[in-house]
Amino acid sequence: MDDKEKIDDINKLIDSELINFTRELDNVKSLSELESIKTKYTGKKSFLTVTLRNIGSLPGQLRPIIGNKSNAARKKIEADILKKEQILKGVEYEKKLREENIDLSLPGRGIKAGKKNIISSVIEEIEEIFIGMGFEIAEGPEVETDYYNFEALNTPADHPARSLHDTFFVSDRVLLRTHTSPVQIRYMEKNKPPIFIIVPGKVYRRDYDVTHTPMFTQIEGLVVDKGINFGNLKWTIETFAYEIFGKKRKVRFRPHYFPFTEPSAEVDVSCNICGGKGCRSCSGSGWLEILGAGMVDPNLYKFVGYDPEEVSGFAFGMGIERICMLKYGIDDLRLFFENDLRFIDQF
C-alpha cells in the first residue's frame, strides 16, 4: 500500500465514522443517550482517539494529514454534541416546567367553618328561658364524692335507688357524678336562700345503646325560699315546657319517686308525632317523659344547715339529649356526639 492509498483508507474510515455519528446523534432524545454517544465517539476507545493516539506509528509525512483530518472530525463531533446538549437541556427544562406547573385558576377545596353542637345550643336556649324567670347559672365538679352524689341526697349506701344508677367509680368514695343533683347540696352549703339556680353539666352512667350513652348532659333546677309550694313547681315547669316545645303541647305530672324529693313527679309532654293519640315513638301512650321533679325532701336541709320549718323548695332535672330528640325528632342519640357537620348544619 502506498501513502496515497493509506490516506484514502483512513479518510474513508473517518468519513464513515462521521456519518455514523451524525445518524446516531439525530436519534438521540435524552441527555443520558447523548452521554453514551459522547463516550462512543470521543471516549478513550473511540476510533478517533485511538487513531490520534497511534499517529506516531505512521510515516512522518502522513502524520500531519491524518492528524488534521482526525482533529477536524473530532472538533465537529464535539461541537455537534454541545449543540445537541443545549437543545436537549432546553427541551427537558420545558418538560419539567410543564410537569411542575400549578394551575392557579383551579378553585380551592374550601374549609368548612365549624358550628356549635346542637346540645350546646339547646342548653343556651334553656338557660335563656330560666334566666328570664330570674334564675342564675351554677356549676359543679364531674368527678364527685359518694357523699354529694348519694349520701347527702338522702341516698345512703344501702338505699335500693343506688342500684338504678350504674355508677363509674374512680375509687371507693370517688365517682363520676351520675346526675347534676349533687350541685344542689354544694350550692346550698355555700349560699343562703332565696336560691333560684339551674345547673347544666355532663353526667356519667354505665349504659350504652341507641337511647343511652355513658356520658350525657343534664340541667338541674333548684329553688329554695320561704313559702315555696308545689304550685310554683308546676307553673315553672309548664312555662318552661311551653317555651321550649311550643304552646300546642300538653304537659302532665305523674307521681314518681326520687330519694331527694318528696312528693316527686315525672313530667311528660304530649307526643308531637301522633298528637297524643298514641304511636310507636310514645309507645302508644301519647306522652313523652321530659324530666323528673319534686319538692326538696326536708331531710336534705339538715345536711346543709337550713331550717326545714323556715324554708321549702323544689328541684327538677332533665336530660338535654332527650329534650333535643323530642324537639327535633332525632331518633339516634349517638348523632349528638359525632360532630358530623352534615348533621349539625341542619339546626
Residue span binding ligand PHE (CB under 6 A) among the ranges 27-35, 144-152, 190-198, 311-319: 311-319
- Enumerate residues 218-237 that contact ligand PHE by CB under 6 A: 220
CB atoms within 10 A of CB 138: 20
Is there binding between residue 41 and ligand PHE (CB under 6 A)? Answer: no
Residue selected from 200, 201, 313, 317 as contacting ligand PHE according to rule CB under 6 A = 317
What's the count of helices (H) and strands (E) in the chain, helices before strands? Answer: 12, 9
Closest-by-Cβ residue to ligand PHE is: 317
Q: Tell me how far apart the alpha carbons of residues 303 and 322 are, in angstroms, rounded to a whole number.
A: 31
Query: In the chain, where do the E strands start and end?
Result: 136-137, 143-145, 174-176, 195-204, 215-225, 251-258, 261-270, 287-296, 312-319
- Minimal CA–CA distance to 240: which of 251, 253, 225? 251
Residue selected from 51, 149, 154, 181 as contacting ligand PHE according to rule CB under 6 A = 181
Is there binding between residue 261 and ligand PHE (CB under 6 A)? Answer: yes
Residue span binding ligand PHE (CB under 6 A) among the ranges 18-26, 278-286, 310-318, 333-341: 310-318
Residue span binding ligand PHE (CB under 6 A) among the ranges 25-33, 34-42, 226-234, 309-317: 309-317
Is there binding between residue 216 and ligand PHE (CB under 6 A)? Answer: no
Is there binding between residue 294 and ligand PHE (CB under 6 A)? Answer: yes
Is there binding between residue 186 and ligand PHE (CB under 6 A)? Answer: no
Grid coordinates representing 34? 447523548
Q: What is the DSSP string of 227-256?
A: T--HHHHHHHHHHHHHHHH-TTS-EEEEEE
Residue span binding ligand PHE (CB under 6 A) among the ranges 15-23, 166-174, 247-255, 290-298: 290-298
* Complex with ligand PHE: residue 81 or 183, whichever CB lies closer: 183
Residue selected from 47, 240, 258, 336 as contacting ligand PHE according to rule CB under 6 A = 258
Q: Is 254 left (phi over 0), alpha (psi -120 to 50) or beta?
A: beta
End-to-end Cα, the chain, rounded Å: 104
Q: Widest CA span of the chain, in angstroms?
A: 145
Say which amino acid occupies 314.
F
3-state secondary structure of 199: strand
* Complex with ligand PHE: residue 38 or 205, whichever CB lies closer: 205
Is there binding between residue 183 and ligand PHE (CB under 6 A)? Answer: no
CB atoms within 10 A of CB 31: 13
Q: Tell me how far apart the alpha carbons of residues 337 and 3 are, in angstroms, rounded to a whole number.
A: 100
* Complex with ligand PHE: residue 66 or 140, whichever CB lies closer: 140
* Complex with ligand PHE: residue 140 or 292, whichever CB lies closer: 292
Is there binding between residue 149 and ligand PHE (CB under 6 A)? Answer: no
Is there binding between residue 315 and ligand PHE (CB under 6 A)? Answer: yes
Residue selected from 177, 179, 249, 327 as contacting ligand PHE according to rule CB under 6 A = 179
Is there binding between residue 46 and ligand PHE (CB under 6 A)? Answer: no
Residues that bind ligand PHE (CB under 6 A): 179, 181, 220, 258, 261, 292-294, 315-317
